[in-house]
């Protein structure tokens, strides 16, 4: 009998994550902001690419400051990286201060209730456990209001507590000429003036790449580490990180006027050759990447040549028009590049009307996952 376990590919595809590229991207971003600490945002399981693997590769490259979303991610990261400085962006989960203190997790305190609970805990323990304060400068997400500044200062003066850092977050960093960047920067500068001895942090990837005025003492890139486009309308200077390949299951010929896929709303305009690839929305591949007669969908690549998706995406399969490859075109078993050197996460995101962040965090399909570089 054939040894099934030795056979190369029984799952739907191969996802390869290049940890060397992530490390290179971090080093490139670190260079853009000299004299500033370059942290790494690894929330949502390292943007879907693996919290531990990604973080260890970044630490090896020199990253010491990490941002996760919640305390559970914080605990996982603490196990992987005993010496890292770890901030929890979501802040302090109620009645868990002791867990943060034990694991040396620093909450990003986003509200009066969080600050009160953290200060009460520190007073009770007789120890100033580190944290960051987050002011909302214009996106109505997490963070203190601008009008909370004097209340916050009173709390700090009363207890003699000094946070590690004051931060805020840009709503429109991906559009560097957007007016909101200037108003948020001005608000942030006015807040920082109230805390002259405390380091500041404003920039995500886009803020960091957009203007040095956003740098302050620590920058917090996420998407750019993973090869995503941070600033719209600009060439992305960073290395691509993710390769996703899936096999072709069948190649078939179809005639002009026939339709492809569910709903029958893609009608072939010529005699065509269609390759069926083993990927679908069941793998997190967006249905919005499909096409109809009147709407272009995403393109994928075979042997480095782009080819359009035709018809709707099914749960497990996707149809690709390979007519232009001619008679010696792709055959079953050949691999289709869904993401890689020829198809970026932003190409797929643009076609689906979403963002690269969502493409990455949806890579939880039936793929075999492998890492290049890192510890090995
Ligand atoms: C996610 C996040 C970042 C990283 O943003 P990117 O756009 O991925 O670089 C930085 N700061 C905060 C507060 C975030 O939530």
Is the pLDDT reported for residue 376 higher than 90? no
Matching fold, domains 19-226 and 242-372: no
Superfamily, domain 242-372: Lyase, Ornithine Decarboxylase; Chain A, domain 1 (2.40.37.10)
The CA 328 to ligand 1 mean position distance, Å, reads 46
Is the pLDDT reported for residue 4 higher than 80? no
Percent with pLDDT over 70 in the chain: 97
Q: How far is CA 27 from CA 32, 33, 203, 303, in A?
A: 9, 10, 16, 31
Residue 159 tokens read as 């207890």
pTM (2 d.p.):
0.95
Which strand ranges, in their side-by-side order, compose the sheet holding 85-88? 40-41, 65-68, 85-88, 105-109, 132-134, 165-167, 200-201
Residue 178 tokens read as 């957007």
pLDDT per residue over 117-136, tens digit each? 999 999 999 999 999 999 99
What average pLDDT does range 338-344 have in this prediction?
98
What average pLDDT does range 71-78 have in this prediction?
98
Is the pLDDT reported for residue 269 higher than 50? yes
Could you tell me if 165 and 108 are in contact, meaning their C-beta atoms sit under 8 angstroms apart? no
User: What pLDDT does residue 8 have?
Assistant: 55
The CA 249 to ligand 1 mean position distance, Å, reads 39
What average pLDDT does range 278-295 have in this prediction?
96
- Average model confidence (pLDDT) for the chain? 95
Range name among 115-119, 154-158, 363-367 with the lowest pLDDT average = 363-367
Domain locations in the chain? 19-226, 242-372
pLDDT band at 365 (very low <50, low <70, confident <90, very high): confident
Q: Which residue has better confidence, 374 or 244? A: 244
User: CA–CA separation, 335 vs 62, rounded Å?
Assistant: 36
Measuring from each residue's beta carbon to the nearest atom of ligand 1, which residues come in under 6 Å? Answer: 41, 43, 89, 169, 204-206, 220-224
Could you tell me if 309 and 289 are in contact, meaning their C-beta atoms sit under 8 angstroms apart? yes
Question: Is 357 among the residues known to form the active site?
Answer: no
User: What pLDDT does residue 222 have?
Assistant: 98
Nearest CA-CA partner of 39 in 231, 168, 199, 218: 218
pLDDT band at 364 (very low <50, low <70, confident <90, very high): confident
Query: Domain 19-226: which topology?
Result: TIM Barrel (3.20.20)
The CA 85 to ligand 1 mean position distance, Å, reads 17
User: CA–CA separation, 250 vs 256, rounded Å?
Assistant: 19
User: What pLDDT does residue 3 have?
Assistant: 52
Per annotation, catalytic residue among 60, 180, 212, 262: 262
């Amino acid at each position: 009998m054939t040894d099934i376990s030795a056979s190369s590919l029984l799952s739907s595809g191969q996802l390869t994550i290049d940890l060397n590229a992530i490390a290179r991207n971090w080093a490139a971003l670190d260079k853009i902001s000299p004299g500033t600490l370059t942290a790494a945002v690894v929330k949502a399981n390292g943007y879907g690419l693996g919290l531990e693997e990604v973080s260890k590769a970044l630490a090896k490259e020199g990253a010491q400051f990490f941002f996760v979303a919640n305390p559970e991610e914080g605990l996982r990261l603490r196990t992987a990286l005993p010496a890292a400085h770890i901030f929890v962006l979501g802040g302090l989960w109620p009645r868990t201060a002791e867990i943060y203190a034990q694991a040396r997790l620093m909450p990003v305190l986003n509200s009066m209730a969080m600050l009160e609970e953290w200060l009460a805990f520190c007073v009770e323990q007789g120890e100033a456990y580190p944290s960051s304060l987050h002011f909302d400068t214009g996106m109505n997400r997490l963070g203190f209001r601008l009008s909370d500044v004097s209340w916050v200062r009173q709390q700090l003066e009363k207890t003699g507590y000094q946070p590690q850092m004051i931060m805020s977050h840009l709503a429109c960093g991906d559009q560097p000429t957007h007016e909101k960047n200037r108003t948020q920067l001005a608000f942030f500068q006015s807040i920082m003036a109230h805390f002259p001895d405390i380091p500041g942090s404003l920039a995500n990837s886009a803020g960091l790449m957009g203007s040095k005025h956003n740098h302050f003492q620590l920058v917090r890139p996420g998407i750019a580490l993973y090869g995503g486009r941070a600033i719209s309308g600009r060439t992305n200077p960073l290395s691509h990180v993710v390769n996703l390949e899936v096999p072709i299951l069948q190649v078939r010929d179809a005639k002009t006027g026939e339709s492809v896929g569910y709903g029958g709303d893609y009608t072939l305009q010529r005699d065509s050759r269609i390759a069926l690839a083993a990927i679908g929305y069941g793998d997190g591949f967006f249905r919005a990447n499909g096409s109809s007669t009147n709407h272009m969908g995403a393109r994928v690549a075979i042997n480095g040549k782009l080819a359009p998706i035709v018809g709707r995406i099914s749960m497990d399969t996707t149809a690709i028009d390979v007519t232009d490859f001619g008679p010696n075109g792709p055959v079953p078993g050949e691999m289709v590049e869904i993401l890689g050197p020829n198809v970026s996460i932003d190409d797929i995101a643009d076609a689906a009307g979403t963002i690269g962040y969502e493409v990455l965090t949806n890579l939880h399909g039936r793929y075999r996952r492998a890492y290049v570089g890192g510890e090995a």
